[in-house]
Chain A
Amino acid sequence: MLEARNLARRVAPLVAEAPVVLERASVHTLPAHARFSLRARDVSGVETLDHPIGRTWLSEKRFAARLGPDEWLLGAPESDGDLLQQGIERALSSRFFSLVDISHRNVAIEISGPAAAEALNAGCPLDLSEAAFPNGSATRTLLGKAEIVLARPSAAPVYRVECWRSFATYAHGFLIEAASSASFR
């Protein structure tokens, strides 16, 4: 019989990192979450998935970011992971797809503030202007030497950076350095 003291505790990377709040850009770590990588060829008619590459379907708690022609990053709060999975399985039941849990692979960091885009541009080569990367954009790209998924979930200057967990320390440190440099006029 399993002893209660052996029940494993979930420890996400960066949990010990305090928010870094600067005048023009701030960096926060985000709590553990549910994440899935969805691969599918045919999503026609599925409202949450059938949108252009680089765009995101968003609800209050969940999102589906289309990263490529057949790839989506799905997200939800940790407690909603099963629901999200069931929803996809239902929506695509008759079609070929692959749904893989990557909740522990991905780590999310938030950068916000008037200089957030400028700070991201310290390591991200993309055009993050309003026209080129509006509310609802999401894409895989680079932040310095780390691959990230960059998402802009709202019209506010708030960006979510997701990376693989072993790159989290680097990405977090990079964003803090960049936020500090971008805050200096």
Chain B
Amino acid sequence: MAQTYRLPTGGRIDRSKPIRFTFDGRTIEGFAGDTVASALLANGIHLTGRSFKYHRPRGILTHGSDEPSALLSVDRGPGRIDPNNRATVVEAREGLKAASQNRWPSLSFDVGAVNDLLSPVFVAGFYYKTFMWPRSFWDRVYEPVIRAAAGLGVAPQVPDADRYANRHAHCDVLVVGAGPAGLAAALAAAKTGKRVIVADEQPELGGSLLHETTTTIDGQSAEAWRAAAIAELDAQENVILLPRTTAFGYYNHNHIAMTERVTDHRADAPKTAPRERLWQVRAGEVVLATGAHERPLVFADNDRPGVMLAESVRVFVNRYGVLPGRKIVFATSAVSAYAAAADVKAAGVDVTLVDLRPEIECGAEVERLQALGVEVLTGHTVVGTKGRMRVEGLIVAPVTNGEIGARRVISCDCVGMSGGWTPAVHLFSQSRGKLAYDEGLDAFVPGASAQAERSAGAAKGLYDLMDCLASGFAAGAEAAGSTEVRTFSATPTPVGFKPVRALPTDANPAKVRAFVDFQNDVTAKDLKLAMREGFESIEHVKRYTTTGMATDQGKTSNMNALGIVSESLNRPLPSVGTTTFRPPYTPVTFGALVGPARDALFDPIRTTPIHDWAAEHGAKFENVALWRRAWFFPRPGEDQHAAVARECKAVRNGVGIFDASTLGKIEVVGPDAAEFMNRLYVNPWTKLGVGRCRYGLMLKEDGFILDDGVVARLADDRFHVTTTTGGAPRVLNHMEDYLQTEWPELNVFLTSTTEQWAVIAVQGPKAGETIQNLVSGIDLSNEAFPHMAVREGHICGTPCRLFRVSFTGDLGYEINVPSDYGRAVWEAVMEAGAPFGITPYGTETMHVLRAEKGYIIVGQETDGTVTPDDVGLAGMIAKAKPDFVGKRSLARPDLVASGRKQLVGLETADPGEVLDEGAQIVADPDQPIPMKMLGHVTSSYHSANCGRSIALALVEGGRALSGKTLHVTTPTGFTTVTVREPVFFDAEGGRINA
């Protein structure tokens, strides 16, 4: 079948570029410039899918982005399958595979269509009514059945193979929509030299001008005017024209999100080219020229394939050179359909027009159309359609004074219906502008603005072309700060319509299936039922019936739904309320929102200067904040347990080497540095000598531990502060906050040096012997360089800050060298330590070794509710200091109350049993539920050095419970533990000074 419904001439398609794609496996021929919808229609295909709930046959209703029915799955190759595309928007191109949805086994024979017969069951609110009980049926019966029976397309199964781009952009004037109003606005704004962006969702700019074949503007054809306008804009450097770009979100402070479809329409696009580009535009002023949507008429079986919007019929004929049928009936209450009928008649089609309005209300258009040879029936209603998979006839009847006369079937293969127009105020509403109801237009139009924007043209309720152009130009000029005024001459547009709600019918209203929301399968009957059940606010009716809540956001249905509710309640329409439109205006791909943020660019993966060495030496890594840290270094055949046990013993018996580069580091500089430190830490700093270190503990103002770390005094006015790995940004922010806002008088500056220094921890009894030959300018003897001292010197010829500190309880050094030298120094230390069996260890061993010593880890032993005394560190607090951050809170009643949780050690009865971290602790496992929880396990490991498991815990009044037996939850019940001091190894602490 080769485009038997294609007109021999006309349309904007490129007849020199034939294309082929498939629909449900069948080859479809079309031309470049076709949408999938226009190509299907050119081949006589109206049936495109099954409806969401009732599986009713559905076709193409519209010609644009408001399409609720013709939703297709589009396959552009592996990883490029995308469901729920509107056939009226997808550009046909060579090799595309389109498929209908929500049908099984085939589109013409769909088992699910039984839902249509069961429709009395699927009434408004059926989810709420039917599936309330029993609860257990939800998971096993209702949900699987509903999911199988209702729905749209199928989600893709493989990762998206496409790339997506992102772009922030700025302009003085953003024009959304490039129809006559938008183009006029852009012309006015561009003349001022201001930066202008024009975005339009269609492949070509021009909007309605793309299908005006007889209209003239300023004496030229609409097409000539359009082409000249675009050429003028395109020639200006200050203008960016973006076809195929949908402005879908209008956010705060004129921030507008748009998606540009870059390559979907191109069969020849390079694989590396982005499929879509997300534009985030910050506009000084916005002109909304978003046009208007036509309303369907609400009559029985108005969803039959072949029943379309009147203007859409006109668009397919004029713009695509396609006849949607050979005998077309227009049913309308709007004048605009007369223009459609005339154009279609001119294309050589048999046309009848049925007008709902009595003849007296119809204008001169009736005669004009009759003169063209079109039969016009005024004062008629539509009571139904004939046909199943395709409309075969429209059933009409005269209405006189509310009385419905004899039915008549007008045979046809296509119906164009029009219930008038609704301005597309979605973006205006998203901008938080107030909508105002215009009774003459029977529509909501933009009222008071909330942001720097203005609407123009049909979006503002101006449907005449001349008005559109003039209002567009004025809006563009005003947005650009110009006072220029321009008038246009243009062919008058037939405007005006009579709002109708559900059409009068002679049938039993309870049996009539007149669709309001085509995508969510909501009928006028459903709306009326909801009102009978007491729903009155439109927001409630929406949610109960789901009208307007599908992915089309009710573009074709909202006003009809509102009208029916208002009519049924006998209340003026505005008092029923309107819906608040929310982004996105049309569906947006996840890819566009994600942009480049996937795979390696999902999040920065921070690695240290020694990372590559660790990777080359078989390290397993763990994530700590954004850092990737060496976790342990398994040798061939070792599991984690064996590797960690070996590493732990190696440190205590010889020497280990550990990459501590991720520790946060802050250089605190200035004459008031010590005073600043005094105010921020619990510890005293004034008397800390130059060249000495101290373990510092920092609280939040609420008295709870924020962070800890070793602080070195390098000079009277310079401290080298370290923080936890995860706490580095938090601590710097905390410090800056107090410095800038509470104590701006202090002469102190803070600089993050976290990444300036690579930190190599060398720990264990052989640590000194390992590094002594590498270090120059520093006397490593115990007397000259005791525990908690710091010296500046050289290692391997590079300047270093050498700390004698230990987080293991053994002799230890932390070598700080400029990061670019980190790996070289690490390798030199490895070589120097080889005679002592130097062993690289990871974060797991670090954790075990510090737990053996009872050293806390902030964020593991603490959780934001733990005070220094809770973890046994009250001794750190400088008694003499009158104040520091958190000190006042430590005196709060709750923080000095007895019964606070305290840090203790736990020993299991079975030395091989390792408790679960986070396990709860109770005094009596036989007490009734709910039991009284005494605390929880914070750290738990197997300790090779202790030859048994060890655990730290926070336990209510724990320090008084030493030696007592408690019970800890396990996956299968409880286990017994004995409370003890939280130090498991070298309790005397002699090794650290060895």
Contacts and interface: CB of A to CB of B under 8 A. Distances in A.
A164 B755 contact: yes
Interface string A1-28: 0110011111111000000000000000
Nearest to B169: A121
A181 B282 contact: no
A8 B749 contact: no
A129 B755 CA distance: 32
B163 interface: yes
B756 interface: yes
Nearest to B604: A170
Contacts of A7: 796-798
Given A8-B821, A98-B667, A166-B604, 11 more contacts: A2-B794, A8-B817, A100-B751, A104-B756, A167-B604, A171-B604, A173-B601, A180-B272, A181-B277, A184-B270, A184-B273
Contact of B280 (A97, A125, A165, A182): A125
Interface in B807-829: 817-821, 823-825, 828
Contacts of A132: 170
Contacts of A126: 168
A43 interface: no
A3 B797 CA distance: 9
A104 B821 CA distance: 9
B609 A174 contact: no
Interface residues of B, number: 62
Interface string B706-743: 00000000000000000000000000000000000000
Contact of A166 (B163, B606, B669): B606
Given A8-B824, A173-B600, A184-B270, A2 B797 contact: yes
Contacts of A6: 774, 796-797, 828, 831-832
A100 B667 contact: yes
Chain A interface secondary structure, helix, strand, loop or mixed? Answer: loop
Contact of A169 (B166, B607, B754, B828): B607
Which of A2, A104, A146, A164 is packed against the most chain B CB atoms within 10 Å?
Answer: A104
Interface in A128-146: 129, 132, 144-146
Contact of A98 (B749, B819, B823): B749
Interface residues of A, number: 51
Given A6-B828, A37-B751, A100 B273 contact: no
B755 A104 contact: yes
Given A10-B820, A184-B274, A98 B669 contact: yes
Which of B595, B796, B819 is packed against the most chain A CB atoms within 10 Å?
Answer: B819
B962 to A, nearest CB: 44
B861 to A, nearest CB: 27
A13 B758 CA distance: 13
Given A98-B669, A102-B751, A182-B165, A144 B605 contact: no
Interface string A143-185: 0111000000000000000001111011101100110111010
A118 B279 CA distance: 11
Interface string A85-106: 0000000000011101111110
A100 B670 contact: no
Interface in B277-298: 277, 280, 282
Given A122-B165, A125-B168, A165-B819, A100 B604 contact: no
Contact of A8 (B195, B754, B825): B825
Contacts of B820: 10-12, 32, 104
Nearest to A101: B756
A9 B163 contact: no
Contact of B168 (A70, A104, A124): A124
Which of A9, A132, A174 is packed against the most chain B CB atoms within 10 Å?
Answer: A9
29 contacts: A6-B774, A7-B797, A8-B824, A8-B828, A10-B821, A32-B820, A96-B670, A96-B671, A96-B747, A100-B751, A101-B818, A103-B756, A104-B818, A105-B752, A105-B753, A121-B169, A122-B168, A126-B168, A165-B609, A166-B606, A166-B607, A166-B626, A169-B605, A170-B604, A171-B604, A173-B601, A178-B165, A181-B274, A181-B596
Contacts of A118: 167
B262 A102 contact: no
A114 interface: no
A60 interface: no
A62 interface: no
B601 A102 contact: no
A123 B168 CA distance: 7
Which of A96, A98, A102, A132 is packed against the most chain B CB atoms within 10 Å?
Answer: A98
B732 to A, nearest CB: 12
Contacts of A171: 604
B597 interface: yes
Interface in A55-93: 70
B578 interface: no
Given A10-B821, A129-B195, A174 B596 contact: yes
B776 A2 contact: yes
B166 A2 contact: no
